[in-house]
Structure 1
Amino acid sequence: MTTIANSLQAVRQRIAQAATAAGRPAADIQLLAVSKTFLAAAVRQAYTAGQRAFGESYVQEAVEKVEALNDLPLKWHFIGPIQSNKTRPIAESFAWVHSLDRARIADRLSAGRPSNLPDLQVCLQVNVSGEPSKSGVAPEDLAALARHVLALPRLKLRGLMTIPEPTDDPVDQRRAFARLRQLLEQINAEGFQLDTLSMGMSDDLEAAIAEGATIVRVGSAIFGAREYNKE
């Protein structure tokens, strides 16, 4: 097996073990392979090893990769910050968006989604750690944004996403993820029917799964360390 195939197998084993520890079926947790900054050839290797869902953060790079791999039945997820002038290619090329945090961006994604494609599946990114430099809607503004998105055509509101402040402390990791789970429960109690918690990465996926993650976004543990030199 290739290194990527070996790494994928190891990550899947981590997910299965974490699910068992949490009393959850491993099948309830989707692995999103974060392929940003890696070449299309690496995605092909991961596809050969059984991976189908891939996450990207840089629009120009991602669109080129989507086109280069259009012979494969892949699901593309956009997980990075969204600039207003990049909404149309995101709406045209992706099946999911995890990083929606503003009503204006929601409006533009809705307007840019081609009518011949299925509804764009979206998660609202929440800044659970309150970091001023980090993207994400504030928890107190979440319900209003959710109501706005729910009313838009060609978008399907699925759940919440977060990238908490990095920490090696498992207790602190779980606290941040528990906050997102609680927000999902609160908003569903208001009448929403959200089913997705996108949280957890290479270094903290176990804590995320323990708190209910349904999608974990794993890059470096699959593809190796990445170099940042993008748009």
Structure 2
Amino acid sequence: MTTIANNLQLVRVRINRACEAAGRDPRDVLLLAVSKTFDAEAVAEAAAAGQRAFGENYIQEGVEKILAIRELPGPLASDLQWHCIGPIQSNKTRLVAEHFDWVHTVDRLKIAERLSSQRPAHLPPLQVCIQVNMDGGATKSGVPPQEAMALVEAVAQLPRIRVRGLMSIPDVAPDFSAQLAVHQATRQLFDRIAAAGLAGLQEFDTLSMGMTADLDAAIQAGSTLVRVGTGIFGVRTRPVP
């Protein structure tokens, strides 16, 4: 068994244990392998071990990797799902709209409008999460919690886009209780939006919360998707772009 395959197995065991502690079904939590700065061969290795969903923070790097994977022999590329989990500038929306399946980091209507207009007609609707700055970090992306429902409602009206839920990246918390508190706040906001009966929310079912350090607390709070990078691929050997 390769290192990546072994790491994947360990992460899945951790997810299963966290779900058991939370009284949840592990099948309700998707593992997103964050492959930023790792090459297409590492993605292929993870895919060979059964991983299908991959997250990329850097758009140009992610697109190059997607295209490289498509050149590999066999049906591998068609089975993979690609998630954009990094900040999106206006000049990169077309790349995202044309190559990714999911976007987790929509926090402005302008970006959503560009993604909507640039999504190719032959592709399924782009699956979108609204990023929320739940703990108020001054340097972080994300819509303030009090503005999230209005943004969800506006984005849900756009064609070629389907709003699926919320995403958050809270600051590092000192312990499990602190991690749990901020994730629970995001879950409560998610529940309020889901209960509001907003037009256009056909499948509002995704809470993208939790990374390697805090996935246990995120799952306890109700996360349906955890984003794990170093826990799968190891320590990055080259600097981020």
Q: TM-score range by the shorter chain?
A: over 0.9
Structure 1: distance between partners of 2:59 and 2:238: 14
Q: Percent identity?
A: 56
Change (3 A) 1:157 1:228: farther
- Alignment counterpart, residue 165 of structure 1, candidates 160, 171, 176: 171
- Alignment counterpart, residue 183 of structure 2, candidates 161, 177, 186: 177
Question: In structure 1, the residue corresponding to 2:127 is in which secondary structure?
Answer: strand
Change (3 A) 1:169 1:188: same
Partner of 1:104: 110
Structure 1: distance between partners of 2:106 and 2:96: 11
User: Structure 1 residue 191 and structure 2 residue 197: aligned?
Assistant: yes
Amino acid across the alignment from 1:60: Q
Q: How many residues align?
A: 231
Q: CA deviation at 1:112?
A: 0.8
- Alignment counterpart, residue 149 of structure 1, candidates 138, 152, 155: 155
Question: In structure 1, the residue corresponding to 2:135 is in which secondary structure?
Answer: coil
Q: TM-score, normalised by structure 1?
A: 0.98
Amino acid across the alignment from 2:158: L
Amino acid across the alignment from 2:186: L
Partner of 1:57: 57
Contiguous gaps of at least 5 residues in structure 2: none
Partner of 1:91: 97
Structure 2: distance between partners of 1:198 and 1:146: 15
Q: CA deviation at 1:190?
A: 1.0
Change (3 A) 1:100 1:227: farther
Amino acid across the alignment from 1:32: L
Question: In structure 2, the residue corresponding to 1:69 is in which secondary structure?
Answer: helix
User: Structure 1 residue 203 and structure 2 residue 213: aligned?
Assistant: yes
Question: In structure 1, the residue corresponding to 2:121 is in which secondary structure?
Answer: coil
Which range moves more in the overlay, 49-58 or 187-196? Answer: 187-196
Structure 2: distance between partners of 1:214 and 1:186: 17
Q: CA deviation at 1:228?
A: 5.9
User: Structure 1 residue 131 and structure 2 residue 141: aligned?
Assistant: no
User: Structure 1 residue 24 and structure 2 residue 34: aligned?
Assistant: no
Residue deviations 1:3-61 (CA, integer Å, cap 9, x gap): 00000000000000000110000000000000011011100100010000000011111
Structure 2: distance between partners of 1:184 and 1:131: 19
- Alignment counterpart, residue 225 of structure 1, candidates 215, 235, 241: 235
Change (3 A) 1:185 1:228: farther
Structure 1: distance between partners of 2:188 and 2:56: 27
Partner of 1:121: 127
Partner of 1:47: 47
Structure 2: distance between partners of 1:168 and 1:221: 19
Q: CA deviation at 1:171?
A: 0.5
Contiguous gaps of at least 5 residues in structure 1: none
Partner of 2:11: 11
- 1:70-89 maps to which residues of 2 (within 5 A)? 70=70, 71=72, 72=77, 73-89=79-95
Q: CA deviation at 1:229?
A: 3.5
Q: TM-score, normalised by structure 2?
A: 0.94
Structure 1: distance between partners of 2:62 and 2:238: 14
Amino acid across the alignment from 2:145: P
Question: In structure 1, the residue corresponding to 2:192 is in which secondary structure?
Answer: helix
4+ long deviations beyond 2 Å: 227-231
